[in-house]
Amino acid sequence: MAPEVPSPPLTPHQGAPRPHIVLFVIDDQGWANVGYHNKHVITPHMDEMAQQGAVLDRHYVFRWCAPTRAAFMTGREPYHVREKANYVTRGMTMFPRKLQQVGYVTHQVGKWHLGEHEDWMTPHGRGFNTSFGYLAGGEDHYTQIQKNSIGCNGKDLWHTDKPAYGKTGTYGEYMYNDYIQEIIREHNPSTPLFIYAALQSMHAPQQVPSYYSDMYKGYYEDFAIMNGMATVSDEVLGNMTAALKAKGMWQNTLIVVTSDNGGPSGLPVVSSGNNFPLRGGKEGNFEGGIRVASTIGGGFLPAKMVGTTLDGYMHASDWYPTFCGLAGVDAADPNPKATEVPGVDGFDLWPYISGTVESSPRTEIMISAEDNGGIISGDYKMIVGVQNYGFWTALNYPNKSFDHSTVKEVDCGKGCLFDIRGDPSEYVDLATSMPDKLDELQKLHKKRSATSYMPPNMENDAARCSAYLKEHQGFLGPYYSWQKGVLTV
C-alpha cells in the first residue's frame, strides 16, 4: 500500500560516507522545556546543539509516545503502523535491522514501548545488537517497578535477551548514561554505529534527584522537578557527545535530538509540561501536542547548515528513509502481504537538511485517523473531535497561580481549522470563515483515513504474566514466548 503523497525514490545516497547515527529522544519534553526556547530552563548541551547544529522548527510527531516511536522505527506514519495497537506487526522491518544489513552495529538504550509480549517484539528481536532499558511505557525511575493494567506488577528492566538481574534500584538516567558511555568506549570507530537513546525523562512519574531540582530554587515545585528532568536529560546528551569526541568519532556522527510528543500540560494527574507559546499538549492534536523541540547536529552536518533554522515540515516517519539513505541501504520495505501492510510513508530529508535543496519534500502530515485526529496540508491544519485540553501557558508554567480546575475539553466536532504558519499558537479557528478550505481538508483526511492499518491487539494474560514474574525473580518479560524457563522464537 503506497503512501498517498509519493515520496522521492527510496534509494541510498550513492558514494556518500556512512555516518555514525544517534537518535536521542527525550520523553514528554515540551516546546518550552528547553533552554533555547525558554530562558528559565537549564539545558546547555541542547542549546549548544541548536547553535552549532540546526534547529528543526517544524518537526511533528504523534500526540503520545508509542505511535511516534513506531514511526521512527518503521518509516510509517502512525495511522499506518499503530495508533491503538499494543505492538508493531512483524511484517514491518524496523530501522536497526536495515542498518545491520549494511554492517552497522546497533544499540537501544532506555524506553522501548513497541511490544513486550513475545521475544521477537523486544529490541534485540527487532534488530538491535544490544539493548538495555524497559519494555513498557513508564515505570518508577528509581525502582524500575512497572504497574500495569492487568495487575501483574514487577521490575521492568531488560538487557538484550534477558531480565537485567541485579541492575535495578538506580535512577534510570544514571544507568542509561553509563550504558551509552560503555557502548562508545568499546566501539570500533571503523564500524558504523547506531544508538537509539530513548530516555525515560521527562515522563511520569515526575521524579528527579534533588541535585537537579535544586537548580530551580525559587520556582514552583512542579516546575523545578519537571525541568530538573530536562536538565538531567541534557547532561546525558552532553556526556554522550563528549565521549564521541574523545573517541574521535564526532566528525563522522549525525545526532537528531527530539521529543516523542508535546509536554503534558493538562492531564488529570501530570500537568507540568510546558509548550508555550503553542496551544495544548500531550494527548491532544493542537500544536503543543504534536510539534516538538528538535535539533540536528554532529560533525557530519555540513558546515553551511550550522546555526540555521529549518522550518520545512518534517515527521517522525521521515528519519527511517533519511537514515537509510545515509547508511547506503534501500529504505523500501517490500512485504509478502503488500496489499495488507502499508509501505514506507517517510521522505528522505537529507537533501533538505544538507542544504542541497531549499524546501522540504513533505507538504502534508497525516496527524491521525482516529475520531479526534486531523491532517496538515500546506499552511493549514484541520483537527476533528474532542481534544482533551487546549489552553495556553506561560514561560514559567507550572506556577501557583494557574488553576487546573478551569481546564476544559475543546470539541472541534467535524473540524477546527487553523493557519499554523500565520497563527502558530492557534488562536483563531477559521472553520466558519474558510468553509471551502475546511471542506478540502475534511475530504483529504477522509481519503487518507480509508487506508489506515492497525494489527489486532495482543491479548494480555495476567496468569501467564504472573507465572513469568514468579520464575524470573520479580522481573517482567515477554511471557508469551516463555515456556518452561526458555525463550522461544
Amino acid at 316: A
Residue with cell 499558537: 425
Cβ(174)–Cβ(205) below 8 Å: no
- CA 330 → CA 320, 345, 350, distances in Å? 10, 14, 14
Cα separation, 293 vs 132, whole angstroms: 25
* CA atoms lying within 13 Å on the CB side of residue 54: 25
Residue with cell 499552511: 379
Buried/exposed 408-418: b ≥16 CB within 10 Å, e otherwise? eebebeebbbb
For this structure, is 113 an active site residue?
yes
Cβ(3)–Cβ(237) below 8 Å: no
372, 332, 330, 442: which is closest to 84 by C-alpha? 372
For this structure, is 465 an active site residue?
no
Sheet holding 380-383, edge to edge: 364-368, 374-377, 380-383, 416-419
* CA atoms lying within 13 Å on the CB side of residue 393: 30
Check 20, 37, 65, 124 and give the catalytic one.
65
For 285, the grid coordinates are 492534536
Residue-by-residue DSSP string for 65-91? HHHHHHHHHHS--GGGT-SS-SS--TT
Alpha-carbon torsion angle 131, 137, 141, 143, nearest 10: -80
Check 37, 59, 113, 445 and give the catalytic one.
113
Residue 15, Cβ density class (10 Å: 0-12 exposed, 13-18 middle, ≥19 buried): exposed
- CA 44 → CA 293, 371, 405, 448, distances in Å? 14, 40, 35, 41
**Residue numbers annotated as active site:** 65, 113
